[in-house]
Amino acid sequence: LQDLIDEVTQDNPSMPEFVERLQQQAVEVQVGLTRTGFSTGISYNLDGVALSGTQLGRAYTFSGLQKYRGVSYDKGRDNALIEALMQPQHLAIAPSEAEENELELSQSDLVASAPATANELELSQSELETTAPATPATANELELELSILPEPDETQWVRVRSHLAVEYSLPLELLDLLHSHSWLYAGSEKAVFTARTLDGEARFAFVLDERGNFSTTHPLSSEAAFWVATTGEIERAVIACNPIEALSILLIEQENSQDNSATAPPTIYLGIERASQLPKQFLQELDSVIIAIAEDSHLARNASALLPNAEVVSPQSSWNEIWIQLIEQEQRSHKQNNQQHKQPIPNIELD
């Protein structure tokens, strides 16, 4: 199977061309795509033997095909074509009636995203991509989503926004953008960060009170986290213990990339409460996963057990404290040079 994949990728095909060529060679291919355009993996079936890309080797995962085999992929260009190729009529091996029913059921779980339209906000050099939550398909789903999230209180947003900016040094533009898509809002006098699946569906919320304590609403049994991702096909993940820590790591890395002129690869930053909330299959496909949580914590140990190949980076203090120290150092430096300090902000794109 590896030799066959190597053969069909010799001329650097697009991802749909790659899938179609394997199907013509009697290889069944399944590509998992979320509604927000993330790949949750690729798997192959030849002569009844099914293997995931991870099992075949790093070069045969969805991201590995692009990095090591020259397969090109653009979600806006390719996802609709890939979805069409996943339909039963395109499979090389005709399934039995029972298999066909099972296959049709699995196909209903694969949803490809339509081409995204980006609204660019001119804030700084780096880019951050956050994807709008999927529109609930039915009134029942909408009612369910509302029932698992605290009630928004817009009259308190200015107060919550100010508290987050002053207490945690989070940029106002970033807070406003998250708020505009309901990923961050005021619930009474508390900050509410929504936890979403990779499909963009809200599943529960992180609630931050004014004393700096996080609590969570009761999560549904699904892989959901607070997350934001930099623009591009995601190659890397950084896992933190809450939304403030995830955003702080993002800002630290953006600042460091500006200072060092070295941009980090497209990265998804996740804030979680429990390791079971991690999208395991998606993370296993990535080249690099960093667990940025104190390594002696219960959460870090559970995440490491779930993702044994991940690197654990343990901060000496909280990541937000490191971010605040970085900002204060920048402010002192600019003040000494009689220059106006502007807090670094990532450039944010919204699909």
Q: What is the pLDDT of residues 180-205, one digit of tens each?
A: 989 999 998 899 999 999 988 999 99
pLDDT more than 70, % of the chain: 76
Distance CA 201, CA 37 (A): 13
pLDDT score of 96 more than 60? no
User: Alpha-carbon Rg of the chain, whole angstroms?
Assistant: 22
Helix, strand, coil percent content, the chain, rounded in steps of 5: 40, 20, 40
pLDDT score of 349 more than 60? no
Average pLDDT value for residue range 117-138: 42
Q: How confident is the model at residue 334 (pLDDT cuts 50, 70, 90)?
A: low
Contact (Cβ atoms closer than 8 angstroms) between residue 270 and residue 225: yes
Contact (Cβ atoms closer than 8 angstroms) between residue 183 and residue 130: yes
Contact (Cβ atoms closer than 8 angstroms) between residue 217 and residue 208: no
The amino acid at residue 162 is S
pLDDT score of 271 more than 90? yes
Query: What pLDDT digit, counting tens, does each position of 202-256 carry?
Result: 999 999 988 899 999 987 777 899 999 988 788 899 999 999 999 999 999 988 8
The amino acid at residue 271 is G
What is the pTM for the complete model shown? 0.73
DSSP, res 93: S
Q: How confident is the model at residue 147 (pLDDT cuts 50, 70, 90)?
A: low
- Paired strand residues for 312: 291
More confident residue, 292 or 141: 292
